[in-house]
Amino acid sequence: MKEAGVYEVTMPKLSDSMEMGKIIQWKVKEGDQVGEGDVLAEVESDKAVMELESFRKGMVAEIRHADGEEVPVGQVIAMIRLAGEGPEAAPGKRGEPRAAAAQKPLAARAPAAEVARRPASGAEETAAKAKGAALPSAPTTAPRAEPGLAEPGLTEPRRAEAPREGARVAISPYARKLAADKGVDYSAVKGTGPGGRITARDIERAAGAGAAVAQKAPPAAARAVKPSPDEELPAIEVAEGEADVEDASFRLRTQARRVVASQHVIPHFYVTAGANVAALFARKDELKAGFGATVTHLVAYACVQALKQHPGINWSYDRGRVIKWKGVHLGLAVDTPQGLTVAVLRDAQKLSLRELVAQATELVERARAGRLGAQERRHPTFTITNLGMFGVEHFEPIINPPSSVTLAVSSALPAALVKDAAIHIGMVMKLTAACDHRIIDGAAAARFLSDLRALLESPDRLLGGQ
């Protein structure tokens, strides 16, 4: 239960596909005073690095996860003691004096299951033998650590550390990580937290006093990387000196899981059509000079108009549900210095070409700067990926959920076309739709592509009076 007067900072959900977040760097430390809007940490999602701000004013009572840790969405990563809230309430019952709670035996304050896991003391063992009762045995493996609280006035830690020579060392996860980083043997450190729990400040003091050095953990690149559940291929054995090997970034590993899941779960099929965009390209320079329209903008605008005629292409299938989106939330695949990301232009069906160009330009700039907001990454209902600027003749994309279609746009290349029994030179752009066969069939995809091609081949019809 959340304690009164305490604000729980949780790992935010920064995109609809985000399940885990990585703490890049804390900008505060335990004991710091923070105000509303102050930056607490930099957090990385599967799409971008964002600043995590405090929504309340108070003191950073505990940091539960250290720099570099990956945390599930919604899990508490820090605790803030709210301004003006004193430590009157005890960890156990509301209104109980703190001193009384602190003097209670640990068995009286801990859950029954916790007591059952704890090794028996000598006195307990003697008493049990006299009664002929069996004592609960200590676990053969250490129970999984749960985060506790390191600041006086917060709840009692839910469990202590694994036994160390008959005694338990209570230490917060962040303090444990800090001890490893600073080479401090925390078993020799006296804790000042609740019940003698070791906090980060205790480790800092011990490091300054030259506490015994513990062996540091090996660097990340030297540790064995556990295979993720979606990796079904055998590991690549690399001989010494054959290659440089390092841990993949959090974003790359997340992207790998997403594309594997998409291919495994969604039955893909592909439909390709070639559009002769010679007439559209004849107006390209005029539109670029007028209000900055690029080929990507023109294709995006044409897709939105075609989706108005084929709303089913803008629907999603999810666990037995058909989601009929009320708006076209256009996903634009953007190449950024940190890798591929998808920026979402919301309610694109309401925009004129001029408005679409202005909003999409700003959106892409923010994506490349790593400054996309949560709504600008949320629920793309139709996704476009354009490699036309690289001279690509044709490619097949992977569906980007919840989109049921991801459209691949290739280069417009000179091609010989037959029209009215004569050969003409046109500019053919191949459009390939990767479709979710659970909700879209081949005929529906073909009709959509046919109308999209007609719009791109008839710029007067597409642009109207623009």
Q: At 72, which CATH number?
A: 2.40.50.100
Is 170 in the same domain as 276?
no
pLDDT interval class at 168 (50, 70, 90): low
pTM, 2 dp = 0.59
CA atoms of 169 and 347, how far apart (whole Å): 55
**Of the listed ranges 184-193, 321-330, 456-465, the one predicted with least confidence:** 184-193
Residue 141 confidence (pLDDT) above 60:
no
**DSSP three-state, residue 330:** strand
Round to the nearest angstrom and report the end-to-end CA distance of the chain.
59
Is 310 in the same domain as 387?
yes
The residue written with tokens 């957090």 in the block is 43
CATH of residue 448's domain is: 3.30.559.10
Q: Is 215 part of any domain?
A: no
Residue 216 confidence (pLDDT) above 80:
no
Q: Is 94 part of any domain?
A: yes
Is 102 in the same domain as 172?
yes
**Of the listed ranges 1-15, 50-64, 363-377, 382-396, the one predicted with least confidence:** 1-15
pLDDT interval class at 239 (50, 70, 90): very high
pLDDT number for residue 157: 38
The residue written with tokens 């959920």 in the block is 401
Q: Are 86 and 35 in contact (CB under 8 A)?
A: no
Q: Per the structure block, which two tokens stand in for 347? A: 């309610």
Residue 285 confidence (pLDDT) above 80:
yes
pLDDT interval class at 133 (50, 70, 90): very low
Active site residue 437: yes
CA atoms of 46 and 22, how far apart (whole Å): 9
Q: Per the structure block, which two tokens stand in for 342? A: 């998808």
Q: Total domain count for the chain?
A: 2
pLDDT number for residue 367: 92
pLDDT number for residue 194: 63
Give pLDDT tens digits for 399-433: 999 999 999 999 999 999 988 889 999 999 999 99
Is 417 in the same domain as 320?
yes
With CA atoms as reference, report the closest residue to 426 among 263, 245, 217, 277: 277
Q: Is 246 part of any domain?
A: no
Question: Do β-strands 70-72 and 20-26 pair in parallel, antiparallel, or remain unpaired?
Answer: antiparallel
Give pLDDT tens digits for 20-33: 888 989 999 999 99
Q: Among residues of the chain, what percentage have pLDDT more than 90?
A: 45
Is 284 in the same domain as 374?
yes
Is 192 in the same domain as 109?
yes
Is 203 in the same domain as 132?
yes
pLDDT number for residue 208: 75
Is 187 in the same domain as 68?
yes
Domain that holds residue 107: 6-208
Give pLDDT tens digits for 77-116: 999 998 765 543 333 333 333 333 333 443 343 444 343 3
Report CA dihedral (318, 302, 18, 63) to the nearest 10 degrees.
-150
Please pick, among 297, 379, 394, 437, the residue that the annotation labels catalytic.
437
Give the residue from 184, 208, 232 where a domain finishes: 208
In eight-state DSSP terms, residue 169 is -
Q: Is 224 part of any domain?
A: no
